[in-house]
Amino acid sequence: MNMNEIDLKLLELLHNGDFVSGEKISEEIGVSRTTIWKHINKLKQQGYQIESATNKGYRLVKIPDRIVPEEVYLGLKTDYIGREIKVFSSLGSTNERAKELARKDFPTGTVVIAEEQTAGKGRLGRSWFSPPGTGLWFSLIVRPDIPPNKAPFLTIIASLTLVKALSELNPELKPLIKWPNDILIDDRKVCGILSELNADLGMINFAVIGIGINVNQDYFPEELSAKATSLKIALNTRIDRTGLLQGILNFFEGYYQKLLEGRFKEILKEWKGYLNILGESVTIYSGSETYQGRVIDISSLGELVIKDNSGKVWSFWAGDVTLRKEEN
């Protein structure tokens, strides 16, 4: 959907839901009231519900449940994250499209969103259920000037961003991070992150951080229903995906800046505060090997450190393992 400047200014003026008179709008935008009326009708055709009342003017009642870049830009407080947003009605995977764009030099902060993914990718070669219009399926392109061995921090700041944005959306949500990067609410997965790296020796060319959030699903296919949840299920109300996306992009820029400034310790400390795994008994599956032990720490690189029953200490990288938390 293409919006011109008049549509945008109109939305900006009507954004808080109060009546604004036709006279005021035409004064602010500097066009005639007939032009305003035409643009109001155009917005209505695009799914915006706008009420008009004699002597009062226009009032925005409802925005369409679609991600429209121009609307996202209105609520961004960022300098560069989310300043270029590409929305597709359907893609195989937003990570794949984001990698294509990154190879064409799209800058840090570019966001690729799909209303639906037909081949959404999860960690460890799994697929990611991405039905149309219900979730937020998107990928962020970044080009951080950090050593490749610090790349796991991209996923760390993404998960930190998600818990912060979800807590801001509703403090009752109380999201936790299941190492390395699943976001859980009520012990069920609500978001997943898949970061992919393009690096040469000693240097990151670009990374794509793919984020999937179950937002407005009412139910899940049988194989997922015991493990997955959505924000709508958790809060019993429909969530505005645009507002949530704005929150995420705003938080992300803050953490990304910290990362560029090398404030790894500070990031890690905050991240540890949301982990649901410290001190727990776990089983780790790494290729054909299985390890059992208690989680004693997270290393300075974000690895999981466990002590097995014989007292031996092992560290695991996020990329290679599956983890199961044992019931006590």
- Contact residues: ligand BTN, CB under 6 A: 93-95, 117, 120-123, 126, 128, 130, 137-139, 182, 192-194, 210-212
Task: Specify whether the backbone of 118 is left (phi greater than 0), alpha (psi in -120 to 50) or beta.
Answer: alpha
Does residue 32 contact residue 39 with C-beta atoms inside 8 Å? Answer: no
Minimum Å gap between C-beta 50 and ligand BTN is 32
Does residue 114 contact residue 128 with C-beta atoms inside 8 Å? Answer: no
11 vs 248, beta carbon nearer ligand BTN: 248
95 vs 134, beta carbon nearer ligand BTN: 95
Non-local CB neighbours of 2 within 8 Å, separated by 6+ positions: none
Minimum Å gap between C-beta 93 and ligand BTN is 3
Minimum Å gap between C-beta 190 and ligand BTN is 11
Per the listing, tokens 């003026």 go with 13
Determine the Cα–Cα distance for residues 278 and 295; give it in Å rounded to an integer.
5
57 vs 152, beta carbon nearer ligand BTN: 152
Q: Measured between alpha carbons, how far is residue 165 from residues 147, 173, 224, 277 in Å?
A: 27, 10, 24, 21
- Strand 321-325, strand 313-316: pairing: unpaired
- Residue 3's identity, in one-letter code, is M
Q: Which residue is nearest to ligand BTN (CB)?
A: 192
68 vs 318, beta carbon nearer ligand BTN: 318
139 vs 242, beta carbon nearer ligand BTN: 139
Minimum Å gap between C-beta 119 and ligand BTN is 7
Does residue 52 contact residue 97 with C-beta atoms inside 8 Å? Answer: no
Minimum Å gap between C-beta 244 and ligand BTN is 14
CB atoms within 10 A of CB 241: 22
Determine the Cα–Cα distance for residues 61 and 12; give it in Å rounded to an integer.
14
- Residue 187's identity, in one-letter code, is D
36 vs 110, beta carbon nearer ligand BTN: 110
Minimum Å gap between C-beta 79 and ligand BTN is 24
